[in-house]
């Protein structure tokens, strides 16, 4: 739990105390958990290391997932970057490759940090590790930025949802993008208000995004959505750092996301009964996997 009920309260506390959002969240969580803040930082550094190892593993392992539905995307993107075959800025490609890498490790049942969920696990590592490398930022600072991401995530969880089953993919990958954008702004030396605008912009850019995993597996479209939402998060951070603001305050965007999630059909909330899961190809994949599973039981 977080003592702050809204992002606005969090921002006001940071501004009043002349601190970063991460400092405010860290102090709040240390008090709530009755822990020394340094212990929480050390735990977050361990989480950061898990994120880094997942990136390295995902980039190196181009093999297929157990279902055969995914695998090798991160490695392909990295190779294209190495061969200078990218149309995008290399920083953006690196963000996307890392996001794909972690999501692919998740699909292979590897070790990831569910930040905020397993399905959206690539977005935050993709952003904070790339920005950290780019700016030669210490691991300690990167770990601190994860407290900022966590603070935003806790508010979203309290006011709306982080679950695809409850709010669609906007709640899962969208929230991860909002959290990552807020952390990126802090890492780049932006203000607490800019972090809030970055989160709002990232969330607005994916309102209505449905949860429609093919065959109910967190692979298609989830893995590539991690890359897409990581790119969106970076774009949102860039805009906010340039002084571009969200016309709708972030807390209202979160409320809108909740409202959209409530209006979303249950077929589009992780039930694999709508969207991409119900395309002819999606259904054929589901039938093949069901047949494979049955043959293993024979
Ligand atoms: S489509 Fe659904 S299962 Fe996949 S990442 Fe989004 S919310 Fe998670």
202 has pLDDT over 90: yes
Spatial CB neighbours of 243, under 8 Å, sequence gap ≥ 6? 194
Residue 1 maps to a domain:
no
Residue 113 maps to a domain:
yes
CA distance 39 to 217: 36
Supply the range of the domain harboring residue 185.
7-297
What number is the average pLDDT over the span 209-213? 98
Q: 225 alpha carbon to ligand 1 midpoint, in Å?
A: 8
- Check residue 107 and give its pLDDT: 98
Q: Which position has the higher pLDDT, 224 or 1?
A: 224
Spatial CB neighbours of 140, under 8 Å, sequence gap ≥ 6? 41, 45
Rg of the chain over Cα atoms, rounded to whole angstroms, equals 19
pLDDT tens digits along 51-76: 999 999 999 999 999 999 999 999 99
- Check residue 298 and give its pLDDT: 67
pLDDT tens digits along 242-255: 999 999 999 999 99
Q: Whose CA is nearest to atom 6 of ligand 1?
A: 169
Question: Which sign does the torsion angle of CA 90, 192, 20, 50 carry?
Answer: negative
122 has pLDDT over 70: yes
Residue 2 maps to a domain:
no
From residue 65, give the alpha-carbon distance in Å to each of 28, 61, 167, 297.
40, 10, 27, 20
* Best of 99, 114, 169, 223 for a ligand 1 pocket test (most atoms within 8 Å of beta carbon): 169
Residues contacting ligand 1 via CB (< 6 Å): 119-120, 164, 169, 172-173, 211-213, 218, 221-222, 225, 270
Q: What is the pTM of this model?
A: 0.97
CB atoms under 10 Å from CB of 284, counted, come to 12
234 has pLDDT over 90: yes
Q: 36 alpha carbon to ligand 1 midpoint, in Å?
A: 35
Residue 219 maps to a domain:
yes
Cα angle 51, 56, 61 (rounded to 5 degrees) comes to: 125
Q: Which long-range contacts (CB under 8 A, 24 or more apart) does 183-186 make?
A: 183/124, 183/127, 183/128, 183/145, 183/146, 183/148, 183/149, 184/127, 184/128, 184/131, 184/145, 184/233, 184/234, 184/237, 185/237, 185/240, 185/241, 186/20, 186/21, 186/22, 186/144, 186/145, 186/148
| DSSP single-letter state for residue 206 | T
CA distance 11 to 113: 26
Number of domains in the chain: 1
Q: 181 alpha carbon to ligand 1 midpoint, in Å?
A: 19
**Percentage of the chain modeled with pLDDT above 90:** 96
């Amino acid at each position: 739990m977080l003592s702050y009920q809204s992002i606005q309260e969090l921002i006001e506390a940071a501004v009043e105390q002349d601190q970063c959002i991460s400092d405010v969240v860290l102090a709040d969580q240390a008090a709530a958990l009755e822990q020394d803040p340094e212990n929480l930082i050390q735990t977050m550094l361990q989480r950061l290391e898990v994120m880094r190892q997942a990136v390295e593993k995902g980039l190196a392992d181009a093999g297929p997932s157990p279902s055969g539905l995914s695998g090798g995307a991160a490695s392909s993107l990295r190779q294209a970057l190495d061969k200078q075959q990218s149309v995008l800025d290399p920083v953006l490609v690196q963000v996307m490759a890392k996001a794909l890498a972690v999501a692919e490790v998740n699909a292979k049942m590897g070790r990831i940090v569910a930040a905020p969920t397993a399905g959206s696990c690539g977005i935050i590592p993709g952003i904070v590790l790339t920005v950290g490398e780019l700016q030669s930022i210490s691991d300690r600072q990167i770990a601190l930025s994860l407290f900022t991401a966590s603070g935003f995530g806790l508010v979203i969880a309290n006011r709306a949802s982080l679950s695809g089953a409850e709010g669609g993919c906007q709640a899962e990958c969208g929230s991860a993008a909002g959290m990552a954008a807020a952390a990126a702004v802090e890492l780049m030396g932006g203000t607490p208000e800019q972090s809030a605008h970055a989160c709002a912009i990232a969330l607005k850019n994916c309102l209505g995004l449905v949860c429609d995993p093919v065959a109910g597996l967190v692979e298609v479209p989830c893995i590539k959505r991690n890359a897409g939402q990581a790119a969106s998060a970076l774009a949102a951070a860039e805009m906010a750092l340039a002084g571009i603001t969200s016309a709708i305050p972030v807390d209202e965007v979160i409320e809108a996301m909740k409202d959209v999630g409530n209006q979303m059909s249950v077929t589009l909330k992780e039930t694999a009964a709508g969207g991409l899961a119900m395309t002819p190809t999606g259904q054929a994949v589901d039938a093949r996997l069901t047949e494979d599973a049955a043959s293993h039981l024979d």
